[in-house]
Amino acid sequence: MKKKIILIALVCFAIAVFFIFDLERYLTLESLKTNRDTLLAYYAAHKLVFVLGYILIYTVQTALSLPGAAILTLGAGAIFGALMGTLWVNIGATAGAVLAFLLARTLLRDWVVNKFGAKMESLDKGLKENALSYLLFLRLVPLFPFFLVNLACGITSLSIRTYVFGTMVGILPGSFVYANAGASIVSINTLGEVASPRVLFSFALLGIFALIPAIYKKAKAVKHERAEKTHAQRVP
């Protein structure tokens, strides 16, 4: 119990520090453009430290559901390039998502259940029947906030192995789009230019594609059920 209280206090302290010191002011498009040359110079001189520091920051931001993920991902592309930026983002975001998942499953379970429990029945059912397909759909379709999926999955019966793999794969397209855009950061004026309707529509199509195995499985089950009913009616 004492360990739980200490961990909750640390989480609250970290969130409080973020907002009290207004660290969000560094996570803006303007700030990234202004400080890009400085960041590039530091990266050139201290590559390993910079990469590890970046992954740590992204992990903490994701685990605590703090704002700034889009800017951090653009920053990865601006500093590391599209491909390596996507890789470091994927590692940091996946690690942070796993921590958020574990927090929701342990320390914050009661709060998450009270807050979202009534809405989790359909989610839990979908994950039980087609865990990977359903999780990929949730990760790919931008209608579902990343932090909310992390917390919601934590109170379901989803296995952590499936969660890690589904998250790692599911966030790749979005991470690449933003990191690739970040590689040309000078030409971006607003975040809306990156998350254009065309890009969001593409993500939605990918999400629907991820559900194809689940749809096929459901259709097969319905067909089998109808066949059994037909057979039962024919038997005297």
**pLDDT tens-digit readout, 97-115:** 999 999 998 888 888 888 7
Which one has a higher pLDDT value, 221 or 177? 177
Query: Tell me, what's the pLDDT at 16?
Result: 94
SS3 190: coil
Q: In this structure, what token pair is assigned to residue 50?
A: 């910079």
> Residues 118, 88: contact at Cβ < 8 Å?
no
Element (H, E) at 61: helix 47-63
- Identify whether the C-beta of residue 82 lies closer than 8 Å to the C-beta of residue 180: yes
Eight-class DSSP state of 211: T
The confidence score (pLDDT) of residue 99 equals 96
- Global confidence as pTM: 0.86
Per-residue pLDDT reduced to its tens digit, 36-47: 999 999 999 999
DSSP string for 4-31: HHHHHHHHHHHHHHHHHTTGGGGSSHHH
